[in-house]
Structure 1
Amino acid sequence: MKPQALTMLTLLIAPWAQAQSTIELNVRGSVTPASCTPALTSGGVVDFGRISVQDLSKTQRTMLKPRPIGLSISCDAATRFALRMRDNRDGSALVNSGIYYGLGLDRRGNRIGLYEVQFDPRRIQADALTQVYITDSTTGGRGWHSADLQMDRIGSNDMLLGFSDTLGSTAGPVPIRDLTATLMVQVVVAPTETLDTSDDIAFDGEGTMEVVYL
């Protein structure tokens, strides 16, 4: 099926002299007939339960045991897509990075910690593929890293995470109709000496996962 092209826009600059100067601006894109629906198990909630302050380091960051959550993506037809995530608690992560997301602030405005969402290709199934490989792009899909079996993290902005059927491929994601995966959520808590521990500190991490059509 041919993509529907968007309207071309031509920008004209009026001449100051007798010679006319023009410059063209081409606006391109396409509308895909397919759509994909992502879903997370447990209503998208990863609960780390109640954690004693005594189990956290006073002077160092504490990495908690990762917790799993299931992801499924169902498309109307085999579709080339990638994933990215937006941090709905932007600015509250301990580290300013495209792969780390914030856990919110405590009562005194201190940053509680951060979390990351890990994709392990060995825990991903897609259509009838015998093995799924992970590929990623840090250029918004203009170029892709070699697909491999290494664990990767979903990123934000121009960082895209996709899925391939060929080890070492740099062609980007392949068309997939149905995908299921077990993700691991890794939480890191700030040193307790930097937090207000006079009352409960509630994790308040929230992110929006987006399917990007390629």
Structure 2
Amino acid sequence: MMRRIYLLLAALTTASVSANDTVGVDFEVTADAAACTPALSNNGIADFGTRNAGSLSANAFTQLGTRELTLTITCESSTALAITSRDTRSSSVRVGEDTGRTIGPHFSANGGLNVAYASRLFGLGVTAENKPIGSYAILINTGSIVALDGSQNVSVDMAGSESKSGPWARLDHYLLPAAESYFYTFVKKGTVVPQAVSSVSVPLQVSASVANNLGSSQKISLDGEAVISIVYL
């Protein structure tokens, strides 16, 4: 069974005067199961502040930077679980070179990472003229995960698989998938054996990249929606 969180990304506004760069993440939970309850920090809002529309590049994609959220999962008892996700705006994904000639939303993790492969990119919706606005990606910060098994702290790594049944493998980066095509689970430190947890805090980084030539005389609002699912193993 799956328990789902709905993430809504909204409200990048570009106008002739200013741009209100806010990525909002909201959620609601289905009643698929009662074993584990998920929640997001800061009401799911990743705020990129306000900028002048003239600061958006006319010739290249503009990186909006990275903001952090925390996914917390609390279970009634210790449970082995995995995380996956999907994009409900996949048809609006647009990716291109930024001013540094790199492609895709940028993260600073592990010396720098740009996400350019479609299976890990989420769409930001379209303008009134039906122009795709750009794309974003969601990275799990595996080095800062905090987990409990009952009342005991447990040291965990993450591992990934194309199936919720495994086999599980360690990866260089843990980017949420756009089509529930990949799963991530918590594993015992130094192994690829799933670790049951009673609660876990999972830091997430959200990075967005906005296309050029979107027009600056009208309001442009992000309209992204991702769905994170908790899968019981």
The alignment's TM-score, normalised by the length of structure 1, stands at 0.74
Q: Deviations over 1:71-119 (max 9, x none)?
A: 1000111111111112122211115722111111111111111111111
Q: Distance in 1 between matches of 2:42 and 2:64?
A: 20
Cα distance in structure 1, aligned partners of 2:66 and 2:174: 14
1:43 aligns with 43
**Which consecutive unaligned segments of at least 5 residues does structure 2 have?**
1-32, 96-116
* One-letter amino acid of the counterpart of residue 198, structure 1: S
Aligned to 1:139: 163
- Aligned match for 2:215, one of 189, 196, 211: 196
1:126 matched to 2:147: yes
Corresponding residue number in structure 2 for 1:210: 229
1:164 is matched with which residue: 187, 192, 198?
187
Which residue number corresponds to residue 79 of structure 2?
Answer: 79
**Stretch deviating more after TM superposition (87-96 or 119-128):** 87-96
- Please tell me whether residue 100 in structure 1 is matched to residue 121 in structure 2: yes
Task: List runs of 5+ in structure 1 lacking aligned partners.
Answer: 1-32
SS in 1 for 2:43: helix
RMSD: 2.2
What is the total number of aligned residue pairs between the two structures?
A: 177
| Alpha-carbon shift at residue 34 of structure 1 (Å) | 6.7
Larger strand share, 1 or 2: 2
**Aligned amino acid, residue 164 of structure 1:** V
Paired residue for 2:205? 184
Paired-residue identity, %: 29
Equivalent residues of 2:82, 2:164 under 8 A apart: no
Determine which structure has more spread, i.e. the larger CA radius of gyration: 1
Structure-2 change in CA distance of 1:140 and 1:197 (3 Å): farther
Q: Tell me the distance in 1 between the aligned counterparts of 2:119 and 2:153.
A: 29
Q: Does the C-alpha gap of structure 1 residues 36 and 55 become closer, same or farther in structure 2, counting only changes over 3 Å? A: same
The structure-2 alpha-carbon separation of the partners of 1:141 and 1:54, relative to structure 1 and needing over 3 Å to count, comes to farther
Query: Which amino acid in the other structure matches residue 74 of structure 2?
Result: S
Instruction: Confirm or deny: 8 A CA contact 1:107 1:196 kept in the other structure.
Output: no
